[in-house]
Amino acid sequence: MAKFHIPKSNRPVPLLEPRIVTLTVLMFMILGVVSIRLYYLQALHHQENVELADRNRIRLQRVPAPRGLVFDRNHRPLVDTRPSFDAQIVPEDSDNLSLTIERLARYTGADQIADKISDADEAGRPPYEPITVAERLGWQQVVALEAHQLDLPGVSLQITPARHYLYGQLAAHLLGYVGEVTMSDLKAHDDYHMGDEIGKFGLERVWESFLRGDAGGQEIEVDAVGRRLRVLKEIADTPGESIVMTIDLNLQQAAEQAMAGKNGAFVALDPRNGDVLAMVSHPAFDPDIFGGGVKASAWKELMTDPNHPLQNRVIQGIYPPGSTFKIVDSIAGLQEGTLKPDTTYTCPGGMWFGGREYHCWRKQGHGTIELHDAIVRSCDVYFYNVGQKLGVDRIAKWSNQMGLGLKTGIDLDHENPGTIPSSAWKQKRFHERWYPAETLSVAIGQGYVATTPLQMAQVAAQVANGGIRYKPQFVKYVEGLDGNIAKSYSPVIENRIKIDPDALEDVKDAMADVVNGAGGTAHKAHLDDVVVCGKTGTAQVVGDKGPSGEDETEDKTPEQFKDHAWFIAFAPKDHPTIAAACIIEHGGHGGSASAPIIHDVFQRYFQLNPPPPKPEIARVLEDNSQ
């Protein structure tokens, strides 16, 4: 090997030569391997490592977008978003954390600050990541924090958008509320993050995707221990879209006022399209308390309240419809042909069936009467006969046709479909055959029959509009950020019954006389310039106390055993524009407890929407044109 190189005479160390060369080659090979490794890391895996380096240093600070607003049908705001001052703490920046916590608690009145910090740390909070420990601070608390800033190392004020319900409890069940995302929310939606706000109930929940908007944020550079160094990038948020509802603030206020101090439900629909004009469930709750971390005590109070303020009675409360169900009997009988407007039955004050007597609420009886009087005076015996003729299955068929026993499909959670019994239903439910005597109870809306106030409002609306069942809707349209309509909701027809117009007119006449005629049970719903049609009902609270009473004489039953008072109505009689149902729990009689509420709301409605001055002339003109 050596002889290839320099002549041997010039080489003082010929013996070393081959091994030095071998060694050099070996060293260069190793450096070659290192170069290949560098090429692998820096050329082939460059992007991947850039991302890893950025993930090391860039932390995303989300800034929630202001939630969309909610307006009534006339674009008056119902819900908006306002700045809220929250206190945050970075424990790493506080040299004496327990002292800082103690002072912070004193200035803000916030409790469990230390718990919140340890909870966040357990959940894997990175160092120097702030924790919100007190939310929605009042002006005095904000001033106290500002003034004592030097005593509170690591504490800062953060301004975040917070939900504000302009009218407190008004339409609380319809509007719903927002709250902080839970672990299950986070699992269900991967675009939510810890601490985000999410619609929990009502409109806030169902229209969440429109209202939420897209959070903005800041890219913040942090060092290896997590200290924030500078803002690298700001990403603007996109506010949520607004919702324009079908409810009318003035009408809703009138309904809330009429229902004040009472437990029960009220709902008004537009029979021409299914729009919800007002919806009240009492007792209600204050949706503001859910924002910014609901206080444990307030939550417990709501959950344990025996009156269930969180329940939306309009769609979740199920009650026997009582005598309001006689309207369903009438439609069913007329449709099946087992009943004619001039069909007569004699009421002696009761009826013997299957070996026992079924009473009419009027012990002295109603004598021999036709359908009109039977509705006006709410004769039980007449409808025992109607029901008997129909049989339970035909009653069930027409009840279902009118939407009873089915969900209305309103865009709210936890709607209860109620119960409409049939022989098949009983077989399935109790493995027992149907006894004909049970049909009598069903005919007067008792027994197994259970309906929601919204379903009964639909019954009134179907009589009003001639048999069209609309899906009840409370959102008119979604308003985009540019102020244009982003999505509108047109009426949805769920079902259409062809009712003989003359027969329907007879039922309407009778319902008009319930309010306006002699012997009617709901004179308290009478309006001077508009013909209101209605039907009262009484839902029994305690078992088999006897047939439904329509007596106006005051009941001496203790409050909690008093019957629930129903009233369903629509107006004006011709070309109706509003239909409603009202139930007052333990209100006693429909005529005395519920009719006045519908009276007040309808009165307000016709003040806001005056009916055509002379409907008779209008009708004449219409007839001539045909």
Structure tokens at 84: 């809220």
The DSSP output letter for 524 is G
By C-beta, is 41 or 492 nearer to another protein?
41
What H or E segment, with its residue span, contains residue 2? none
CB of 38 to another protein, least distance (A): 5
CB of 217 to another protein, least distance (A): 20
Instruction: Please report, for the chain, how many H helices and E strands are present, in that order.
Output: 22, 23
| 64 burial type by CB count under 10 A (0-12 exposed, 13-18 middle, 19+ buried) | buried
356-359 vs 70-71, strand pairing mode: unpaired
Residue ranges that bind another protein, judged by CB under 8 A: 11-13, 15-17, 19-21, 23-24, 27-28, 30-31, 33-35, 37-39, 41-43, 45-46, 48-50, 52-54, 56-57, 221-225, 229
Q: Pick the catalytic residue from 242, 281, 323, 594.
A: 323
Taking the C-alpha atoms of residue 391 and residue 383, their distance in angstroms, rounded to an integer, is 12
By C-beta, is 223 or 529 nearer to another protein?
223
Check if 323 is active-site: yes
563 contacts 591 by C-beta, under 8 angstroms? no
By C-beta, is 42 or 346 nearer to another protein?
42
Q: How far is CA 417 from CA 202, 221, 454, in A?
A: 17, 54, 10
Q: How far is CA 183 from CA 130, 186, 384, in A?
A: 20, 5, 54
CB of 130 to another protein, least distance (A): 19
| 42 burial type by CB count under 10 A (0-12 exposed, 13-18 middle, 19+ buried) | exposed
By C-beta, is 39 or 561 nearer to another protein?
39
By C-beta, is 40 or 430 nearer to another protein?
40
CA 612, distance to chain mean position in Å, is 35
By C-beta, is 13 or 183 nearer to another protein?
13
CB of 33 to another protein, least distance (A): 8
Residue of 534, 531, 516, 535 lying closest to 606 (CA atoms): 531
Taking the C-alpha atoms of residue 560 and residue 211, their distance in angstroms, rounded to an integer, is 41
CA angle 313, 393, 564 (to 5 degrees): 25
By C-beta, is 41 or 194 nearer to another protein?
41
- 3-state SS, residue 309: coil
Residue of 279, 277, 271, 269 lying closest to 248 (CA atoms): 277
Q: Which long-range contacts (CB under 8 A, 24 or more apart) does 16-24 make?
A: none
* Residue type (1 letter), 324: T
CB of 27 to another protein, least distance (A): 5
| 323 burial type by CB count under 10 A (0-12 exposed, 13-18 middle, 19+ buried) | buried
Taking the C-alpha atoms of residue 468 and residue 561, their distance in angstroms, rounded to an integer, is 37
CB of 98 to another protein, least distance (A): 27
The residue assigned the tokens 């005529």 is 591
CB of 220 to another protein, least distance (A): 12
Q: What is the DSSP string of 154-176?
A: TEEEEEEEEEEETTTTTTHHHH-
CB of 185 to another protein, least distance (A): 29
By C-beta, is 19 or 545 nearer to another protein?
19
Which residues are identified as catalytic? Answer: 323
